[in-house]
Amino acid sequence: MTLQEYDYARESPSKLAASCLLLALTMKNLGGWTPTLEYYSGYSAQDLHPLVKRLNFLLTYQPRDKLNAVRSKYSHRVFFEVAKVTPMDMLMLEETLTSS
């Protein structure tokens, strides 16, 4: 989704990928940013928090009339129906990020 948004073009691909991973871990309640992830990514959890919040906002307020082919593709079970995952509540995300 971020490939379609100009605002994310200035973010480094590695930071964007790390932020997406942290958001996915948080959304699925699979733990937080571990020292191993920090070591290999080069980013601390605090470095990623602002971008994680922006990504969740993008998921929450995405326009439904655009990119239907992408949404349809990733709604299929082959792709684990990731397009159907409900974004986190912004306040709950904030609490989860600050508590870790």
**Cβ atoms of 94 and 56 closer than 8 Å:** no
What average pLDDT does the segment 65-77 reach?
Answer: 81
Confidence tier at 84 by pLDDT (50, 70, 90) = confident
d(CA 53, CA 24): 12
| Model confidence pLDDT, tens digit, residues 14-51 | 999 999 999 999 998 998 899 999 999 999 999 999 99
d(CA 45, CA 22): 8
How many of the other CB atoms lie within 10 Å of CB of 87?
16
| Model confidence pLDDT, tens digit, residues 24-34 | 999 989 988 99
Superfamily of domain 10-99: Cyclin-like (1.10.472.10)
What pLDDT, on the 0 to 100 scale, is given for residue 64?
64
Decide if pLDDT at 52 tops 80. Answer: yes
What pLDDT, on the 0 to 100 scale, is given for residue 25?
94
